[in-house]
Amino acid sequence: MKDLMISRRRFIKNVAMVAASISALPVVNAIAGVLTDESRMDDLEQAVFAKMLKIALPTESSSLVDSASLPVLSTIEGALLAGMAPNIRQGLRGGISYFNEGSVKSFGDRFVNLSDADATRFVDQWSASAEPPERALSMGIKKLTVLAYWAIPSTWGPLGYDGPVSDKWNLSSLGNTPEPTI
Amino acid sequence: MSIHNNKLNIKTAQDIQRPKLTIDADVVVIGSGAGGAISAYELAKQGKKVVVLEAGPYVPSSEFKEMLAIAMGTMYQDEGGQSNTHGDVTVLQGACVGGSTVVNAALCFRTPDYFLNLWRDEHGLGNLTSERMSVYFDKIEKNLSIEPNVKHETSIGADLILKGLTKLDIEPGIAKRNIRDCAMTGFCFAGCKTDRKQSMLVTYLPWACNHGAEIYADTRVTRIMTSNGQASGVEAEVVDPKTKVVKSQVTVNAPIVVLAAGPVQSPIVLQRSGIANSSGQVGKNFACHPSLSVTAMFEEEVDDFHGATHSLYVDTHTLPEEGGYILLNALQEPVEASFQAEPGTGENYVAYMEKYRNSIRLITLIHDKNVGEVRYTDGVKEIIYEVDDHDFESMKEGLKFNAKILFAAGAKYLYLPTSDRTVINSVEEIDSVIDSLKNEPARYRYTSFHPQGTCRMGGDPKNSVVNPYGETHDVKKLYISDASLLPTSIGYNPSETVYALSHYIADEIIKANFS
């Protein structure tokens, strides 16, 4: 029993670390790194992010840009996973797999196989969970997904947000400030 | 040497082809942010050969995109992903030539006398008197055009909040910022494309180059070298920012080393070098001013998109005895708005983002205890930090104050930045909703813009890393000049404190070595 407890503590600690690495993942790397085979999304990761995108941003009956029409997954992959430190990348795979399996207990199937309604309920359930790793994973994977969507400038139009303005407003650069003379 | 073309004399990984490079200098400065740039200028002005090594890339302001997501990927530490080990406090720092000064909101406060007195009484820093520091504050305010916002330097959200403050008879604070002729784009956090913000990129760094300083970007220091208990230079690697491949090994031989890599990286450089830690305090005493944004939704479209990024604050409860929190307004673009609130998954989230035009935010930031630690173990950086229980109570009081102001400003309902949906629908609900919050990891969406305190300054070598003159107790001629020096957190944005301390330390270096 004692061994089991220790093993559970270790497991929770590891999951917590993975969850932390996910919620802390970088945003969008404009200097996209080299996408190696190790950093590329595997089929499961593709499926988890695709499912999350579908349920987090059900744009069909809204004014928002259809999430399926945008390169959200390739933004996650090319801008986020490329160049990621190998240990973080490995942790991310583990976290996504744990998250995908997490719904089996309450919903009887893996996250990617749930109906959209159940998948939505599962994500909200874990966001309110008493277990910090579950909260962190749910919050982190969803954050990454929606971030990748909103990082694409064509999503801003329906919000009324006009984006960068310096060029549009013809603002001139003041350049480097003269060195003080005293 | 004096050149005075007021341009950066800079080399990047692209410019460096040789696998090994050895440079001789009088002073090597690690980091090009507030502390590094000011040190470089003041020491180069003495006619000394100064070399500045910056781990981050050089991004000229003409290449700033005015998009937070891209700025995070190019100019922030760990591409904006740096956090504590629980992953619930995002610790934002600039990681580019100019450091955090390039991506901060330019808000400036003098160090309150309360903390200067505390540091004198409890940390042996009787040298940092209000009178002495005033000289440096005056100087930096002149050099960086630090002025109170003029009337038009505001934003729609700030004007709404001001109405709330007036209604509740709360005194507003008008921000002082290091900005010339603000263009009111609202993109401070993505870098000022037209060089209005007086970051180090457009001030102290080109000024240092006027006096012969050389800057190496993409160059990460791996070790500080010592000889007979004295600093003797550094070893560094030039890393291609795209491939992460090491292009060149660099050795800089210099009898004076100024470490100004910031409160997370500076202790790591010391830990990797295995020096300056007889006190056991290197990396300890980390604080970070955790902050939470409350998102307010209005009936009408507000369009709080552009204007002064910060223009208004409320510091009626900022000193520890008064509550220990400060409120700051801030603009937010869709990327930030997309994760600062949790309206629920799916249709609720879509409905929230469709109302982005109707939203503003007000930040609660707390003066926190120095309970964290930065560790470097087996090649991995860790920021071990949990919000202290007592500090969390300050946060709750600050959130209540925040919420009352937003409702007085006309908000219809508020979102709290929790892991699951937490909404406050009326003034009457404020206390019950916020009183129910518990201090738990991974429950809140904290952001920290102000890491500090990991190489603290003090009079006693047994419990501090750096002496009252900026030199490490253990290694002579090794100086530290960044926010890691702060013995306690100060509750206010610490940039002006760092600017002033760096000037003070530069003067001490000159006095001890060049007079």
In a structure prediction context, what are the per-residue pLDDT tens digits for chain B, which is 515 residues long?
Answer: 566 799 999 999 999 999 999 999 999 999 999 999 999 999 999 999 999 999 999 999 999 999 998 898 889 998 888 899 888 999 999 999 999 999 999 999 999 999 999 999 999 999 999 999 999 999 999 999 999 999 999 999 999 999 999 999 999 998 999 999 999 999 999 999 999 999 999 999 999 999 999 999 999 999 999 999 999 999 999 999 888 899 999 999 999 999 999 999 999 999 999 999 999 999 999 999 999 999 999 999 999 999 999 999 999 999 999 999 999 999 999 999 999 999 999 999 999 999 999 999 999 999 999 999 999 998 889 999 999 999 999 999 999 999 999 999 999 999 999 999 999 999 999 999 999 999 999 999 999 999 999 999 999 999 999 999 999 999 999 999 999 999 999 999 999 999 999 999 999 999 999 97
DSSP B248-273: EEEEEE-SEEEE-S-TTHHHHHHHHH
Q: How many angstroms away from the CA of A59 is the closest CA of chain B?
A: 7
Task: Write the DSSP symbol of residue B434.
Answer: H
Top-level CATH class of B10-63+92-142+193-283+452-513?
Answer: alpha beta
B244 interface with A at CB cutoff 8 Å = yes
Long-range CB contacts for residues A114-122, cutoff 8 Å, separation at least 24: A114/A51, A116/A54, A116/A55, A116/A58, A116/B346, A119/A51, A119/A55, A120/A55, A120/B345, A120/B346
List of chain B residues whose C-beta atoms are within 8 Å of the C-beta of residue A116: 346
Give the residue from B32, B463, B414, B425 showing the smallest Cα distance to B205: B32
B377 interface with A at CB cutoff 8 Å = no
Q: Report the residue from A59, A63, A164 with minimal CB separation from B66.
A: A164
DSSP A122-154: HHHHHHT-SSHHHHHHHHHHHHHHHHHHHTSGG
Q: How many CA atoms lie within 13 A of B91 on its CB side?
A: 28
B385 interface with A at CB cutoff 8 Å = no
Residues A69 and A57: their CA atoms lie apart, in Å, by 12
Residues B223 and B235: their CA atoms lie apart, in Å, by 5
Contact B361, B332 (CB under 8 A): yes
> Chain centroid to CA B197: how far?
15
Residues B402 and B333: their CA atoms lie apart, in Å, by 20
Nearest residue on chain A to B196, alpha-carbon basis? A174
In this predicted complex, what is the ipTM?
A: 0.94
Contact B269, B236 (CB under 8 A): no
Contact B62 A173 (CB under 8 A): yes
Contact A150 B442 (CB under 8 A): no
List of chain A residues whose C-beta atoms are within 8 Å of the C-beta of residue B387: none
Strands, E, within B264-392: which ranges?
291-297, 312-314, 325-329, 359-366, 373-377, 380-384
Contact B223, B442 (CB under 8 A): no
A161 falls within a domain: no
Domain count, chain A: 1
Residues B140 and B320: their CA atoms lie apart, in Å, by 27
List of chain A residues whose C-beta atoms are within 8 Å of the C-beta of residue B178: none
Q: Which of residues 417-456 of B touch A (CB under 8 A)?
A: 419-421, 440-443, 445
A172 falls within a domain: no
B333 interface with A at CB cutoff 8 Å = yes
Q: Which of residues 179-238 of B touch A (CB under 8 A)?
A: 180-181, 183, 185, 187, 193-196, 198, 202-203, 206-207, 210
A–B interface: beta-carbon pairs under 8 A: 218
Q: Report the residue from A19, A28, A124 with minimal CB separation from B70.
A: A28
Residues B99 and B117: their CA atoms lie apart, in Å, by 29
A165 falls within a domain: no
Domain boundaries, chain B: 10-63+92-142+193-283+452-513, 149-179+291-367+387-440
Residue matched to tokens 């109405």: B163
**Residue A48: which domain range?**
2-153
Q: Report the residue from A62, A128, A146 with minimal CB separation from B354.
A: A62
Residues B131 and B142: their CA atoms lie apart, in Å, by 17
Q: Give CATH for domain B149-179+291-367+387-440.
A: 3.30.410
Residues B65 and A7: their CA atoms lie apart, in Å, by 48
Sign of the dihedral defined by the CA atoms of residues B347, B351, B352, B353, in that order: positive
A169 falls within a domain: no
Residue B146: enclosing H or E segment and its boundaries?
Answer: strand B146-148
